[in-house]
Chains A and B, each alone.
Chain A
Amino acid sequence: MTTATNIVVEREGRVQRLRAASVPYLLLLPAVIALAAVSLYPTLDGIRASLHRFRYGLDMGFTGGDNFTAVYNDPVFWQAIGTTALFVAFVVSIETLLGLLLALLVARELRFAGLIRVALILPMTIAPVVVGVIWRLLYASDIGVVDPLFQALGLGAPHVLAHPLSAFLGLVTVDVWEWTPLLFLIILAGLQSMPQDPLEAARVDGASALQTFFHHTLPLLRPVLLVAVVLRTIDAVGTFDQIFVLTKGGPGVSTQLISIYAYNTAFLFNQYGRAMAMLIGVLVVLILLMVAAVRLMRRSSQVIE
Chain B
Amino acid sequence: MSDKTKNTGKSKLLKRRIRRRDFIKGGIAGSALLAGSGIFAPRIIRADTPSITIGSFQDNAMVPFHEYFIKEFTTKTGIAVNYNETNYDTWYQNCKNDGLNKTGAYDIYVMDDNWVPEFAAGKIVQSLDQLGFKANPDILPAGLEMGLWPPKSGARMKDFANDKPELYSIVIIDDVEILYYNKDFFPTAPVTWDDIYNVAKTTKAPDMYGWSPRGVKGNPIMMTYLPLLNSYGGNFVNPDWTPGFAGPEGVGALSRLFSFIPYMPDGVAEYDTDQEVQLMLEGKCTALTEYTGLAQRVDDPSSSKVVGKINMAATPKQVKSGPAIGTFIASVSSGAKNPQGAVQFLEWFTSSETQLEFARKYGGAAVTGSALSDPEAVQKHRWLPAIADAVNNSVEKPRTPDEPKMEDILGTALNEALVEAIAAKANYDAIAQKHLSAAADQITAYLKQQGGYF
Q: Mark A102-126, 1 if CB is under 8 A from B, else 0.
A: 0000000000000000000000000
Interface membership of A250, Cβ < 8 A: yes
Q: A264 touching B408 by the CB < 8 A rule?
A: yes
Q: B122 touching A162 by the CB < 8 A rule?
A: no
Q: A162 touching B268 by the CB < 8 A rule?
A: yes
Which residue of chain A is the closest to B409 with respect to CB atoms? Answer: A76
Interface membership of A70, Cβ < 8 A: yes
Q: A164 touching B419 by the CB < 8 A rule?
A: yes
Docked CA distance A56–B89 (Å): 17
Q: A269 touching B415 by the CB < 8 A rule?
A: no
Interface membership of A270, Cβ < 8 A: yes
8 Å CB interface, A236-290 against B: 247-253, 264, 267-271
B217 proximity list for chain A (CB < 8 A)? 248-252
Q: Is the interface of B mostly helix, strand, loop or mixed?
A: helix
Docked CA distance A275–B117 (Å): 21
Which residue of chain B is the closest to A247 with respect to CB atoms? Answer: B270
Q: A253 touching B412 by the CB < 8 A rule?
A: yes
Number of B residues, CB within 8 Å of A: 37
Interface membership of A58, Cβ < 8 A: yes
Q: B449 touching A56 by the CB < 8 A rule?
A: no
B268 proximity list for chain A (CB < 8 A)? 162
Q: B270 touching A56 by the CB < 8 A rule?
A: no
Given A56-B122, A270-B401, answer yes or no on A162-B266 (Cβ-Cβ < 8 Å).
Answer: yes
Contact of A270 among B118, B218, B266 (CB under 8 A): B118
Interface membership of A159, Cβ < 8 A: yes
A272, chain B: closest CB distance, angstroms: 11
Q: Is the interface of A mostly helix, strand, loop or mixed?
A: loop
B281, chain A: closest CB distance, angstroms: 12
Which residue of chain B is the closest to A141 with respect to CB atoms? Answer: B267
Q: B100 touching A142 by the CB < 8 A rule?
A: no
Q: A142 touching B269 by the CB < 8 A rule?
A: no
Docked CA distance A106–B402 (Å): 54
Q: B270 touching A161 by the CB < 8 A rule?
A: yes
Q: A270 touching B404 by the CB < 8 A rule?
A: yes
Which residue of chain B is the closest to A70 with respect to CB atoms? Answer: B449
B212, chain A: closest CB distance, angstroms: 11
Q: Mark B395-412, 1 if CB is under 8 A from A, else 0.
A: 000000110110010001
Docked CA distance A52–B306 (Å): 54
Docked CA distance A205–B121 (Å): 80
A157 proximity list for chain B (CB < 8 A)? 266-267
B242, chain A: closest CB distance, angstroms: 20
Docked CA distance A193–B412 (Å): 50
Interface membership of B111, Cβ < 8 A: no
A178, chain B: closest CB distance, angstroms: 21
Interface membership of B124, Cβ < 8 A: yes
Which residue of chain B is the closest to A69 with respect to CB atoms? Answer: B449
Docked CA distance A270–B404 (Å): 9
8 Å CB interface, B97-128 against A: 99-100, 117-119, 121-122, 124
Docked CA distance A252–B15 (Å): 70
Which residue of chain A is the closest to B115 with respect to CB atoms? Answer: A57
Interface membership of B153, Cβ < 8 A: no
A167 proximity list for chain B (CB < 8 A)? 270
Q: A269 touching B402 by the CB < 8 A rule?
A: yes
Docked CA distance A55–B89 (Å): 19
8 Å CB interface, B259-300 against A: 265-270, 275, 278-279
Docked CA distance A250–B404 (Å): 16
Interface membership of B429, Cβ < 8 A: no
Interface membership of B357, Cβ < 8 A: no
8 Å CB interface, A64-102 against B: 70
Q: B266 touching A267 by the CB < 8 A rule?
A: no
Interface membership of B216, Cβ < 8 A: yes
Interface membership of A140, Cβ < 8 A: yes
Interface membership of A163, Cβ < 8 A: yes
A57 proximity list for chain B (CB < 8 A)? 96, 99-100, 118-119, 122, 124, 401
Docked CA distance A157–B254 (Å): 26
Which residue of chain A is the closest to B218 with respect to CB atoms? Answer: A248
Docked CA distance A267–B118 (Å): 13
Docked CA distance A141–B276 (Å): 12
A255, chain B: closest CB distance, angstroms: 10
7 A-B residue pairs with CB within 8 Å: A163-B419, A251-B269, A252-B419, A267-B93, A270-B401, A270-B404, A271-B405
9 closest A-B pairs by beta carbon, nearest first, are A141-B267, A56-B122, A250-B217, A159-B267, A252-B416, A57-B122, A56-B121, A161-B270, A162-B269
List 5 other contacts, CB 8 Å, given A140-B270, A141-B267: A70-B449, A142-B279, A157-B267, A159-B269, A249-B217
- Interface on A for B, CB 8 Å cutoff? 55-58, 70, 140-142, 147, 157, 159, 161-164, 167, 247-253, 264, 267-271
- Interface on B for A, CB 8 Å cutoff? 89, 92-93, 96, 99-100, 117-119, 121-122, 124, 215-218, 265-270, 275, 278-279, 401-402, 404-405, 408, 412, 415-416, 419, 422-423, 449
